[in-house]
Structure 1
């Protein structure tokens, strides 16, 4: 007995020792782990990853950027039954425990002890899952589990249950890049949370545990089993009745992908916004939930898209069938579904769907679309080619088709029984861009950078440098008018030779190869006479013209230092040209194009608001120190440091000045308002009786502009204005090849410009063009000679007051005496 007692005593001592050591070890482990736990308070201000939202000026969505779909919601916005669904499947004692469910932990320990599984279900509460999602890794270890439990208890002490539940619902991953319950509801069902049916919310609650294998889109059967289990648990916990559970379980699985609908299609502008936001706020801008409102007008943007697509299609159809995009070697027994699957890497472009030919012959062709649908093309579908589909296509060819929806007569609704038709088509060989902005403040209203953003993301409006041809001539004329010429001045349209320093001769020509002799500058611009522009530039001097034209927003270094700029040889972007034409339309002010109006953070706080410099015809420069616009890469990014007023427009533009308040800016004056008036008047004549007469169809007296074409018809332009818009259209080929015979600006670009302006100017008041102070109304003869003010007849012109004495200037005398060919040094 004494021996037994002694043994028992030693056992008790040993047990006590192990107990004390265990306590010390547990205490040490607790201290080490707890000391490393993060600050739970940071969860109150956690910033969940959200995409970048881009909106049109009226608030309609233009684009979403970011790898993560997440729209955080407040717990108060979550329907009660949706919360109950998550509680039923994830943690039915959530509102009872203090972070750790000891019953669940005990069950997990028992499973570990009685099974061979290394990972067992159960034991993790919603609070523990939040702790793991925000602070811990997914590593499976006892240390991580202990940290998770301690952190969960700490969270329960510092955060309310609703705060924890809200974090869980917004953080959880639901597959398909959807994070958070709101994004999941939108993606799988296209609904808001309060619109979800019982079967749908049960399906969503089942996803986070198995976001891949239990995905209702990719694995609907597995998702159905999980959904039914959630409904069963909701019934067992008394959240729903048996009848409700049974009815919801009977609903077929119907989750399908729903992308957030883009309401305004402007992909080129959206990409400009993305790049600009990254430049301003850093690379993580796509995850911080910024909301960007742009200046884009939805109606004008849609009109621009339609005009460019229609114009390029019309151009391409004029030049006939080109060739197929590629060809596949189809197996003899290959069906439509298998053949259509080959097209999945080929994007649709502006309504042109890729199609693969299954059969061709007998004047028709059967083609398969990407989804395996079969379409038969008949002779009517290819009427524009002059040949039937059977002669154009063969099996395996990849072509394009366009779906034509039925239309009712005279605007009436189409017959419901009418079926859509299909047209054989092709991606246009040419490209086009359209830029339209408000000349008074530079706000971009519409921009199209090419035929299809899906086909090519290269933005020709801002990145392509092309020669503007004759559409550059108004800038030369403006420089000449500053030096004393006026619309009635006469310059000879006759051959001229310029001898360059290396001995070569440059003989500029008119497009028609003919010469009209002495003519007024108004007529020269209306008829786009090249030789008049060259002689005019030679008279005022190339260096002066380059300095003067640079005031309108062009980089002087981009203007070649020779007489060729009179024919539009500088390589400039369509946006550059639009900015330049805005100077004429706004009375002589240099505005800076801008497209980001406002930026808000995820909390709705305004972090940026544009304050553009505006044209103010009634404002004068007083020479005081004022704020100027901060221009980066050609775009106005808001107020910069103050700048001092400078010299007149003939040398350096005036700086921006305040307008009706200290925070509003006046755009710097680029050219004399009187010169701007004269050019607007002349370019209106271009539309009324010159190369732009097709635009008369708009029925507006305020429409003006200038066509432009380059050598071998490589570029076609129409640049102009009307109402409160300056708009430029360019058409050309990316490989710089010719557009084709007689594809002038008036034929290729002007129809696009007209189609756009017809919509954009609808309901817009007619823009006035009243002569500013300092001008005199005169009468001139057809030869440009000043007539007595008392005489009848003659042509009316408005000239600068100081130019009256020069109306019989030596410019005309010299012009009249220029020989048929005269050599000049071009440099």
Structure 2
């Protein structure tokens, strides 16, 4: 007994000391413990996702992959696997498991090593939220205190839900929802027992136990999880055996991208970063819905890619990427198809070819392939997918030699004129007929941007051939000289200064001496054809350069600059000399299409926007765009909203677009866009632009009766077969930039083609007789058969036409609305003055009331009862070809 009392006193003192020490440590650590509000309002770092207007995933931004799950979304099998493996007494302990802690202490005493045991699920969560994996005693104490603290402020289910969403599981997957996607490409509810056991075993060491990096160790860990589930009676022995013997099926999956539109995604990402900051944008779980429908975006991307291939191929073939081996020459009488190796090294086997092609990254639709056989007018290739493909003459005949941008070699007659066996080449599958053909990476660049002209909503954005080759977005960042695309705005200024569509301007050469430089300025038409006195409508339709200059001189540079700023062009970027009238100013395609939208919508300056709405990770709407719209009377808010909602609901049903009416505030105020030009001015400019995209007058073989002429963009009307289109070509000096801008009643689009090297011209293309003789269906007027100097109509307009063919498919034509204050009078075709005649010398023209001519033309020809219309007898394509 004499030892009992000292022992009890020692134990008591030790207990008191330990309690004091623990209390002291608690108060020492307490300032570092998270507050109740932090724990009650934990925000998971969820990546931003960008969707098309109709809900297709375009891209995902954020280092951490996370798919938030509610506890109801998690299968019981996964919960059982996690609890059995990590914390079987989770619902019984207060955040610290004495049994587990005692086991860890014993292990430390016996081995001297700090093991993994002892941490409850709550403690792991505390470490994941607030601490590191550093194995120190102070960190362990913090972990214990935080875990106990969490148990005081959160329910067990809340803690479990946070754990399932927060825990790191390797390959940047955080939470089991993301792990299911990363490792198996599935929703967590679709996983098998073996797959569930695999990801449930990851929390212990996600970098070394995951089935992608270490499949053998993952199998061992999976078996441990299954044994624990068997011990806890969550699964039967038969289920254990089946899952334990299941093969490893994991492989790395990216985000399930449904619409690959990286230029658009990057544009929206940068806007979100500007709004929220980089960290918040990437981790806030935002679901961003673009204004762009997937159907139009796909059409725009395909149009730009096809157009660049057409341009590139009509300028000739630049040769293979590499020559892997040189074929033997066939001996006399030997079948050339049997000669398949080189004198220096034998023909490569499939493995060698695949290894070499692995060094060539596919670009868009282009994939590498090796020529393994060359026949008379076909080749056999072995591609990077280990497939042999026969490319016949239809996929080869375009490939005449490239000499320079303006010269091409002779058309090939046999396949050996183009490539030899052993050549490493590009091939692609054509969009229109799915035929494989020899190809090459286009050196020219292109862009397309389309807007809704009535509110500025983007409908398509393409910034180049391949974002993965160049992230420079030419649709929004490339300031290039706009050429004749500027003329509609110059003509609009002329209308403001007393000119009419019937005004006659002299289309004659200009030769102006500049005393300061000692050089004469001699601007020319393109082509250098001069018609003499010409009406303003025809001058814009034919894109007469000298007429544009004379109009600028008449209205004055200052007035023209002031007028151009109304369309959104930056004053400081507008040249203050006469080259302004020819488009020497540099603007982006987005700036040009925004200006064109003002003409298309009747005179209102709308602002382009790309984000329709933003939601949180649960899908709750946080923000909805409320753009200013083109409307004369925006006081009728309710009617306007209902009308627009009805239209969008119809389009949603008809074209599969997202019905955004669900996210609108019914009584929101409609904001009117500022009117910058009159409705009458916009209508008359639109009329001239309609002239530019069609054949006009009536064709007759009798020169005296023929009034037929075509605008520079006539292919649009011929190929789209619509009457409600307007547009304007644009070509800069030396054809360094080619443009086409045009619109239908509810869609405006601009396309551009040029080289990133601004000193390089687009050149010319000669006729490729192979395409005409061998396959007339391939010879078309919006493809690789166009000839002559490149310009807006040949290099840029084809992309616009192909985009519009898809965008307007199924959309009915609309009659043009004529605004109040517009009248029509009969005028003389040559003088623009009034006339009483009804023959070929007369036609009706639009005027702003009060500006119509008051003087009659003098009769100088006999009356001919020839009725004027604008239907050509045959297409201008036929005239040009034959």
Matched, 1:526 2:541: yes
Alignment of 1:71-82 (within 5 A): 71-82=67-78
User: Per the alignment, in what secondary structure is the counterpart of residue 173 of structure 1?
Assistant: coil
User: Per the alignment, in what secondary structure is the counterpart of residue 802 of structure 1?
Assistant: coil
Gap runs ≥5 in structure 1: 408-419, 622-659, 810-827
User: Do the aligned residues in 1 keep the contact of 2:372 with 2:382 (CA within 8 Å)?
Assistant: no
Q: How far apart are 1:207 and its partner, in Å?
A: 1.6
Matched, 1:680 2:727: no
Aligned to 2:762: 739
Alignment of 1:214-253 (within 5 A): 214-253=209-248
**Partner residue of 2:39 out of 43, 58, 63:** 43
Q: How far apart are 1:606 and its partner, in Å?
A: 3.6
Aligned to 2:774: none
User: Per the alignment, in what secondary structure is the counterpart of residue 719 of structure 1?
Assistant: strand
Aligned to 1:145: 140
User: Do the aligned residues in 2 keep the contact of 1:771 with 1:798 (CA within 8 Å)?
Assistant: no
Aligned to 1:694: 715
User: Do the aligned residues in 1 keep the contact of 2:428 with 2:439 (CA within 8 Å)?
Assistant: yes
**Partner residue of 2:305 out of 293, 302, 309:** 309
Find the aligned partners of 1:569 and 1:27 in 2 and give their Cα distance.
78
Distance 1:367 1:35, change over 3 A: same
Aligned to 2:745: 723
Distance 1:13 1:203, change over 3 A: closer
Gap runs ≥5 in structure 2: 327-343, 401-411, 637-665, 696-710, 765-788, 858-882
**Partner residue of 2:519 out of 500, 504, 512:** 504
Distance 1:246 1:790, change over 3 A: same
**Partner residue of 2:457 out of 443, 447, 452:** 443
Alignment of 1:558-707 (within 5 A): 558-617=573-632, 663-689=669-695, 690-696=711-717, 697-707=719-729
User: Do the aligned residues in 1 keep the contact of 2:634 with 2:671 (CA within 8 Å)?
Assistant: no
Find the aligned partners of 2:350 and 2:169 in 1 and give their Cα distance.
34
**Partner residue of 1:208 out of 203, 216, 241:** 203
Q: How far apart are 1:336 and its partner, in Å?
A: 4.6
Q: How far apart are 1:58 and its partner, in Å?
A: 1.7
Find the aligned partners of 1:806 and 1:346 in 2 and give their Cα distance.
71
Q: How far apart are 1:788 and its partner, in Å?
A: 4.5
Find the aligned partners of 2:757 and 2:277 in 1 and give their Cα distance.
35
Q: Deviations over 1:330-386 (max 9, x none)?
A: 99697654654555565422211244x486777787766556x26466554533214
User: Do the aligned residues in 2 keep the contact of 1:87 with 1:94 (CA within 8 Å)?
Assistant: yes
User: Per the alignment, in what secondary structure is the counterpart of residue 82 of structure 1?
Assistant: helix
Matched, 1:513 2:528: yes
Distance 1:555 1:787, change over 3 A: same
Aligned to 1:815: none
Matched, 1:537 2:555: no
User: Do the aligned residues in 2 keep the contact of 1:55 with 1:292 (CA within 8 Å)?
Assistant: yes
Distance 1:563 1:26, change over 3 A: closer
Moved more, 166-175 or 7-16: 7-16
Q: How far apart are 1:608 and its partner, in Å?
A: 2.6
Distance 1:167 1:423, change over 3 A: same
User: Per the alignment, in what secondary structure is the counterpart of residue 586 of structure 2?
Assistant: coil
Aligned to 2:187: 192
**Partner residue of 2:367 out of 353, 362, 383:** 353
Distance 1:486 1:34, change over 3 A: closer
Matched, 1:801 2:849: yes
TM-score by length of 1: 0.85
Find the aligned partners of 1:347 and 1:790 in 2 and give their Cα distance.
68
Aligned to 1:714: 736
Matched, 1:318 2:341: no
Q: Deviations over 1:302-322 (max 9, x none)?
A: 111111111111111111112
Matched, 1:256 2:256: no
Distance 1:28 1:394, change over 3 A: farther
Matched, 1:129 2:129: no
Aligned to 1:768: 815
User: Do the aligned residues in 2 keep the contact of 1:494 with 1:515 (CA within 8 Å)?
Assistant: yes
Q: How far apart are 1:147 and its partner, in Å?
A: 2.1
User: Per the alignment, in what secondary structure is the counterpart of residue 147 of structure 1?
Assistant: helix
Q: How far apart are 1:271 and its partner, in Å?
A: 0.6
Distance 1:390 1:10, change over 3 A: farther
Distance 1:58 1:199, change over 3 A: same
Moved more, 34-43 or 260-269: 34-43
Aligned to 2:482: 468
Q: How far apart are 1:546 and its partner, in Å?
A: 1.1
Distance 1:392 1:667, change over 3 A: same
User: Per the alignment, in what secondary structure is the counterpart of residue 467 of structure 2?
Assistant: coil
Q: How far apart are 1:184 and its partner, in Å?
A: 0.8
Find the aligned partners of 1:9 and 1:178 in 2 and give their Cα distance.
58
Aligned to 2:798: 751
Aligned to 1:400: 426
User: Per the alignment, in what secondary structure is the counterpart of residue 437 of structure 2?
Assistant: strand
Distance 1:328 1:68, change over 3 A: farther
User: Do the aligned residues in 2 keep the contact of 1:169 with 1:181 (CA within 8 Å)?
Assistant: yes
Find the aligned partners of 1:471 and 1:406 in 2 and give their Cα distance.
30
Find the aligned partners of 1:84 and 1:802 in 2 and give their Cα distance.
84
Q: Deviations over 1:24-68 (max 9, x none)?
A: 434433443345432255222111111111111122222111111
Aligned to 1:647: none
Distance 1:11 1:778, change over 3 A: closer
Aligned to 2:699: none
User: Per the alignment, in what secondary structure is the counterpart of residue 262 of structure 1?
Assistant: coil
Moved more, 569-578 or 609-618: 609-618
Matched, 1:431 2:445: yes
User: Do the aligned residues in 1 keep the contact of 2:374 with 2:380 (CA within 8 Å)?
Assistant: no
**Partner residue of 2:93 out of 77, 97, 109:** 97
Find the aligned partners of 2:37 and 2:307 in 1 and give their Cα distance.
59
Q: How far apart are 1:328 and its partner, in Å?
A: 8.3
Distance 1:553 1:160, change over 3 A: same
User: Do the aligned residues in 1 keep the contact of 2:47 with 2:285 (CA within 8 Å)?
Assistant: yes
User: Per the alignment, in what secondary structure is the counterpart of residue 385 of structure 1?
Assistant: coil
User: Do the aligned residues in 2 keep the contact of 1:336 with 1:358 (CA within 8 Å)?
Assistant: no
Distance 1:60 1:535, change over 3 A: same
User: Per the alignment, in what secondary structure is the counterpart of residue 587 of structure 2?
Assistant: coil
Find the aligned partners of 1:53 and 1:22 in 2 and give their Cα distance.
52
Find the aligned partners of 1:502 and 1:754 in 2 and give their Cα distance.
43
User: Per the alignment, in what secondary structure is the counterpart of residue 485 of structure 1?
Assistant: coil
Moved more, 150-159 or 286-295: 150-159
Matched, 1:282 2:274: no
User: Per the alignment, in what secondary structure is the counterpart of residue 54 of structure 2?
Assistant: coil
Find the aligned partners of 2:220 and 2:635 in 1 and give their Cα distance.
76
Find the aligned partners of 1:12 and 1:236 in 2 and give their Cα distance.
41
Find the aligned partners of 2:214 and 2:563 in 1 and give their Cα distance.
68
Find the aligned partners of 1:335 and 1:179 in 2 and give their Cα distance.
43
User: Do the aligned residues in 2 keep the contact of 1:291 with 1:600 (CA within 8 Å)?
Assistant: yes
Find the aligned partners of 1:358 and 1:796 in 2 and give their Cα distance.
62
Aligned to 1:64: 60
Aligned to 1:624: none
Aligned to 1:629: none
Distance 1:322 1:198, change over 3 A: same
For the aligned residue pairs, the C-alpha RMSD in angstroms reads: 3.0
Aligned to 2:169: 174
Q: How far apart are 1:471 and its partner, in Å?
A: 2.0
Pairs aligned (count): 752
Find the aligned partners of 1:11 and 1:235 in 2 and give their Cα distance.
46
